[in-house]
Amino acid sequence: MGVSTRPAALWPLAVANLVANIGIVVTGGAVRLTGSGLGCPTWPRCTDESYVPHGELGVHGVIEFGNRMLTFVLAAVAIGCWIAALIALRRARARGGSDSLPFWLSTVVALGVPAQAVVGGITVLTDLNPWIVSFHLLVSMAMIGVCVLLLDELRGPVRSAAAGGVRGLAWAMFAAGWVVLYIGTVVTGSGPHAGDVDSPRTGLDPLQVSQLHADAVFLFIGLTIGLVLVASGLARRAAVTLLVVQLAQGAIGFVQYASDLPVVLVGFHLLGAALVSASMTWAVIASRSRNT
């Protein structure tokens, strides 16, 4: 498939997809960290009488409603990327070729936006149940990974597959990374930043869950260091990038825990989690072959 059959807008739209999905994680975190998770107490309306917040809801209503409105920006970018990928697919087929993977990846992202809106609505209707909030965040992390895969499919370099042992280590690292992300959401669901003063918590001991999270992080970093040592070429560069992100994220996590979880640091930690998802996806992708 020649790049010439793809609309010029496809690449920047794919980049915008990634940026927007990372951005919605950060803005969603801001909603939670400011205690605005129930700023709009129902869904899909903001209140039983109105789709928009009114003065009695105060700043929390504005923050929560603003995050909902950002979903439309995310949807517009995803739809634009899907249309560009569809045009590329039709052009390729007209020339007797195929360009189906970018189209299907764009479709996953585009369908993920309304699906996430529904999950977000369920979190509001359940008064920010921490397990549903956890699922909501993890779906965003998965969508970030799909966006990275799309970018590699569009512009990734031609490369041979890494050795079997390297690929196996990369997948082990990837699995450990997802364990870290999941336990991280459980830590948040057990801690003080519930999104609203009356929202339920998991009931788990934050200290014990945090220790489990730290243990998983050590495994994650150890596997990444191993990948740095045995990989070569692009796979090694991707592993080094991931390691740098991990170390920065670990430093933020340690400082935020030692300083009683200030909201600014927790917000940066959420951004770091999104970057971890992106970089660990790139690291595992870089170990596979790519012929075109």
pLDDT score of 1: 45
CA max distance for the chain: 61
143 and 174 housed in the same domain: no
Is residue 71 within 8 Å of 117, Cβ to Cβ? yes
CATH number of the domain to which 178 belongs: 1.20.120
225 close to 266: Cβ distance less than 8 angstroms: no
Where is the domain boundary, 139, 155, 171?
155
Residues 73 and 184 in one domain: no
Quick check: helix, strand or coil at residue 290?
Answer: strand
Positive or negative, the CA dihedral 89, 93, 99, 100 is positive
Direct distance between the N- and C-terminal alpha carbons of the chain, in angstroms, rounded to an integer? 7
Are 174 and 119 part of one and the same domain? no
Question: pLDDT tens digit string along 73-82?
Answer: 999 999 999 9
**Which residue, of 129, 155, 181, is where some domain finishes?**
155
Query: How many CB atoms are located within 10 Å of the residue 265 CB?
Result: 17
**Could you tell me which residues come within 8 angstroms of residue 80 by beta carbon, excluding any fewer than 6 positions away?**
9, 13, 16
Question: Which residue range(s) make up the domain with 114?
Answer: 1-155
Same domain, 116 and 145: yes
The C-alpha angle with vertex 92 and arms to 20 and 74, in degrees rounded to 5, equals: 10
Is the pLDDT assigned to residue 103 strictly greater than 50? Answer: yes
> Where do the H-state alpha helices sit in the chain?
10-33, 58-94, 100-125, 130-155, 164-190, 206-230, 233-258, 263-285
Q: Verify that 89 and 202 share a domain, yes or no.
A: no
d(CA 147, CA 139): 12
Token pair in block for residue 221: 């970093």
- Tens of pLDDT, residues 124-133: 888 888 899 9
**Is residue 183 domain-shared with residue 151, that is, in the same domain?**
no
Q: By CB neighbour count within 10 A (0-12 exposed, 13-18 middle, 19+ buried), where does 62 fall?
A: middle
Query: 25 pLDDT band (50/70/90 cuts)?
Result: very high
Residue 28: what pLDDT? 86
Task: Decide if pLDDT at 257 tops 50.
Answer: yes
pLDDT for 59 equals: 74
- Using the 3D structure, point to which of 118, 139, 155 is the last residue of a domain: 155
Structural tokens at position 209: 């869950």
Question: Can you tell me which residue has the tokens 């600014």?
Answer: 264
Number of domains in the chain: 2
Read off the pLDDT band of 9 (50, 70, 90).
very high
State which amino acid sits at residue 43.
W
CA distances from 17 to 21, 191, 209, 279 (A): 6, 31, 33, 15
**Stretch 205-223: mean pLDDT, rounded?**
94
By the 8 A CB rule, do 52 and 109 touch? no
Q: pTM score, two decimals?
A: 0.90
Helices 10-33, 263-285: axis angle to 10 degrees equals 150
As a whole-number percent, the residues of the chain with pLDDT over 70 amount to 94
Asked whether the predicted pLDDT for residue 45 surpasses 80, the reply is no
